[in-house]
Structure 1
Amino acid sequence: MDDENVFKQWKKQCLNKIDFSRKGSVDDDICSVVSFINSYDHYFTTSSCSGRIVLIDGVPDCIDVQKQNCTWLLITHKKCEKDDVVTSLRRSSGDAVLKFEPCVLHVQCKELEDAQLLHSVAVNAGFRNSGVTVGKRGKIIMAVRSTHCLEVPLSQKGQILVSEEYIDFLVAAANNKMEENLRRIGRLYECLRSALGPEEVKSHLKDKQTDQKPVYKRRRKRMQDRDGTGRGVKKQNDSDSEDDLECVIDLLELSQIPGSESQ
């Protein structure tokens, strides 16, 4: 089986498998992004979360607390209320921790160039902790991640350690992070639409080098079409698709510059 058919088989198996997440379905606020990515032959999502605020009750005296050993006192993918946190915290019998976990999205990519493009889009949308990994079987995974997390302990062995005023402050901070998280998801969706285009800019991922030539020609042509003020003059027959194509090539070029991820 050739590489293309192998990728298609992986995608089919992944998208048809049962969702074993706690919710059992894709979160509403990231559903459009997931559907858009999965509509392209070069990508498919393997996991996703739109971001959440959780209150977890861990096992006391456990150095490395794993989520499967915890009690979920509260979980929401929207903003939360102080009273809900306080009420849930009173049920704690261990070491309760309030967390805000931002959006995370894992996408398997057909080629490394596909992952580079998606990585540039994610970074430009504000997900600056994104990265690419390559597995032993050649699976290329692009992880969309950001760093604006929150994690604060609130109780120890069932004893609440903080005041309600402080909980009110933490809830406001978590809700602000959730709002910013949703804005970044919106930017990610718009950046994906601009970079991939209605037809994934057709063959730019397949024939990148040959696609670059007409782009540079169009650039030089516009450089020549200048008026007396030094500003470029855009001709009426310039199409939006050409601008989108240049944007995609720029993103690919940026991702290949050493250190560009941290900019």
Structure 2
Amino acid sequence: MASFQRQKAQRLARADASRKGAVDEGAAAVVQLLNERARFCTTSSCSGRLVLMQSSAADTNSCEIQKKDCRWLMVTHETCAKDDVLAALEKSTGDVVLKFEPFVLHVLCQELQDAQLLHSVAINSGFRNSGITVGRGGKVMMAVRSTHCLEVPLTHQGKLLVSEEYIEFLVHIANGKMEENTRRIDRFYKGLELALATSTSVSSSAEGREKSHPVYLHRRKRRTSQEQDVHTPPEDHSEDSRPEEDTENSFDIFAEVLT
């Protein structure tokens, strides 16, 4: 537990490495809610965005946002208008794709049961591509993801491939996805708030029961230990001396239900 708290403190002390340099406004409430809890630490997030991405940047001195060998002609975390897209496309000199990327959140969890709680809330909120990764060293990472993406090519070598009417249609679809994305974030926040409060209440009640029945717990533990000594064959005690099988560095648990 102390090790997790040190790791959390170190992560939260780092400067924000994103281009924006801060958490998106749409994700800030969820991030704050989790980081206020001792058992969770957010490592990255995006509230969702609409992007016009050009696959090859002709002007390397451009002030446009760069992403490796790509150039973002437009990026917004809110809904947009057809004219915004058309204005950005005027700067196109290569192959441009319109993309909608939904909310994503990565959370480092103290224990697997903590990640399972987040996973359950995420699935119930509509983020059906969420999953849990457990590393070989015991690091538990929870990823909140969705499947309602959009990716459509609009230009090739700077030439517009579709009509303005079609762009207007795409913008309407993308804005609808952005609005649904916002609703899912809101459901996730409310569900998470309730689940965390319930989990804390249950943990406190269980701790109180244990403190009020110390003799019973002592006897139960002693009886369980005696039963194990009776029913466990002597050769089974050699299990710990076997070399650990080095099969995989990690395993993933992913939701298979797709929208």
**Shorter-chain TM band:** 0.7 to 0.9
The aligned residue for residue 240 of structure 1 is none
The aligned residue for residue 17 of structure 2 is 20
RMSD: 2.3
The aligned residue for residue 84 of structure 1 is 84
Is contact 1:11–1:44 with CA below 8 Å preserved after alignment? Answer: yes
| 1:13 match: secondary structure | helix
**Residues 63-95 of structure 1: CA distance to partner in whole angstroms, max 9, x if unpaired?**
xxx941101100000001111100101111111
Distance 1:43 1:176, change over 3 A: same
| 1:170 match: secondary structure | helix
Which of 52, 57, 68 is the matching residue for 2:54? 57
User: Structure 2 length as normaliser, TM-score?
Assistant: 0.74
The aligned residue for residue 8 of structure 2 is 11
Is contact 1:82–1:171 with CA below 8 Å preserved after alignment? Answer: yes
Which consecutive residues of structure 2, in runs of 5 or more, have no partner in the other structure?
58-65, 211-252
AA aligned to 2:190 is E
The aligned residue for residue 125 of structure 1 is 125
Instruction: After TM superposition, give the deviation of residue 5 of structure 1 in Å.
Output: 1.4
AA aligned to 1:24 is G
Instruction: After TM superposition, give the deviation of residue 198 of structure 1 in Å.
Output: 7.6
Larger radius of gyration: 2
Distance 1:17 1:198, change over 3 A: farther
Distance 1:74 1:260, change over 3 A: closer
The aligned residue for residue 116 of structure 2 is 116
The aligned residue for residue 262 of structure 1 is 257
Distance 1:202 1:13, change over 3 A: farther
User: Structure 1 length as normaliser, TM-score?
Assistant: 0.73
Does residue 31 (structure 1) correspond to residue 45 (structure 2)? The answer is: no
AA aligned to 2:5 is K
Distance 1:260 1:15, change over 3 A: closer
Is contact 1:40–1:200 with CA below 8 Å preserved after alignment? Answer: no
| 2:108 match: secondary structure | strand
Distance 1:91 1:10, change over 3 A: same
The aligned residue for residue 223 of structure 1 is none
Alignment of 1:48-197 (within 5 A): 48-59=45-56, 67-197=67-197
AA aligned to 1:45 is T
Which consecutive residues of structure 1, in runs of 5 or more, have no partner in the other structure?
61-65, 211-257
Aligned partners of 1:167, 1:181: CA distance in 2, in Å?
21
Is contact 2:82–2:168 with CA below 8 Å preserved after alignment? Answer: yes
| 1:142 match: secondary structure | strand
Which of 36, 39, 44 is the matching residue for 1:47? 44
Aligned partners of 2:186, 2:171: CA distance in 1, in Å?
23
Aligned partners of 2:83, 2:201: CA distance in 1, in Å?
49
**Residues 178-221 of structure 1: CA distance to partner in whole angstroms, max 9, x if unpaired?**
000000000000000110118833627x97xx8xxxxxxxxxxx
Distance 1:259 1:188, change over 3 A: closer
| 1:203 match: secondary structure | helix
Aligned partners of 2:75, 2:192: CA distance in 1, in Å?
29
Aligned partners of 1:42, 1:117: CA distance in 2, in Å?
12
